[in-house]
Amino acid sequence: MVAATDRWIDAYLDHLRVERGLSRLTLEAYAADLLRYLRALQAREIPLQTATAADVRAVLSSLTQAGLAARSQARFLSSLRGFYKHLVREQVLGQDPMQLIEAPRMSRKLPSLLAAHDVLRLLAAPDQQELRGVRDAAMLHTLYASGLRVSELVELRLTDVDLAAGVVTPLGKGRKRRIVPLGELAIDSVGRYLAEVRGRWARVNERCMFVTQRGGGMTRQAFWKNIKRYARVAGITKRVSPHTLRHSFATHLLEGGADLRVVQTLLGHADLTTTQVYTHVSPEHLRKLHRRFHPRGS
């Protein structure tokens, strides 16, 4: 039966990959959660077909005692929900025990945010007397100007960038494309990179927009290290990650008066509530908006 359950997991992951276009990292996370769950059931000698909501709660309780964080618990339960729905839909199981399971409550932690003057210092940190600095400046400008996820940035193809139109068309979650404006500074920075660097470094037929000296595309991990290094060069003491620029992009747009729905579209969020978490607006800005627009605000 172990072999059968493993085949069910493989079939479910294939379904997610083909039908929903999930990334390799997301699929690996789902696979790890499902295998962990099945091994826990096996340790209790409980077949998947007969597992009840009480059994699921017992497994979750043991994981909590082992130190599994609330956010990881939520992802674990999300993996199980999708898996069980798939098994019921495929008539492998007759009922879904997850219908009786509630997700753990989580506090919404706001991502790190940089003030506008800190962003400018970060963008100016690369030494553009060097080819590497020209490339890194172009990547930082693109990230802040467009609010891309780091995976979207490093996977950006040469054909995804239209400097004449001033837009990028990243391939986001669910394999969905969106159109995002770049802005003049980013256009100039990327244009310089294309003119001075990419032609020298890129291998023949390399499709990635941003490449390393070896000729291939840059990894997420490499860019993560780069942005941390440039934060130190800029004298920024707080923790900075690629997502910091994405969150700063969204927040600065809102503080400039952008509509929340527009920011949602630019970020590529399917759910507006996700955008509300990422786009934290300062209390002072809210007070200014209230004074400006409310009939009794002044």
CATH number at 131 reads 1.10.443.10
Distance set, CA 99 to CA 58, 78, 79, 89, 290 (Å) = 16, 12, 13, 14, 42
Are 136 and 222 contained in the same domain? yes
Task: Return the amino acid letter for 271.
Answer: D
The candidate with the shortest Cα–Cα distance to 171, out of 16, 21, 49, is 21
Q: What is the extent of the structural domain holding 184?
A: 116-290
Predicted TM-score (pTM) of the model is 0.65
pLDDT for res 282: 58
- Domain membership flag for residue 147: yes
- Domain membership flag for residue 107: no
- Domain membership flag for residue 179: yes
Interval 279-291 mean pLDDT: 61
pLDDT digits (tens, 9 = 90+) for 113-171: 899 999 999 999 999 999 999 999 999 999 999 999 999 999 999 999 999 999 999 98
Residue 208 confidence class, pLDDT cut points 50, 70, 90: very high
pLDDT for res 271: 74
Distance CA 94, CA 232 (A): 56
Are 47 and 162 contained in the same domain? no
pLDDT digits (tens, 9 = 90+) for 85-102: 999 998 888 889 988 887
- Domain membership flag for residue 110: no
Q: Pick the last residue of a domain from 68, 100, 132.
A: 100
Are 154 and 195 contained in the same domain? yes
Least confident of 145-149, 182-186, 195-199, 263-267: 263-267
Are 40 and 93 contained in the same domain? yes
* Active site members: 149, 173, 243, 246, 269, 278
Are 23 and 77 contained in the same domain? yes
Interval 180-188 mean pLDDT: 94
Number of domains in the chain: 2
Question: Residue 90 is part of a domain; what is its CATH number?
Answer: 1.10.150.130
pLDDT for res 123: 97
Distance CA 79, CA 84 (A): 9
Answer with the residue of higher pLDDT: 21 or 93: 93
Residue 264 confidence class, pLDDT cut points 50, 70, 90: confident
Distance set, CA 160 to CA 167, 171, 189, 256 (Å) = 8, 9, 16, 27
Share of the chain above pLDDT 90, in %: 49
Distance CA 37, CA 200 (A): 49
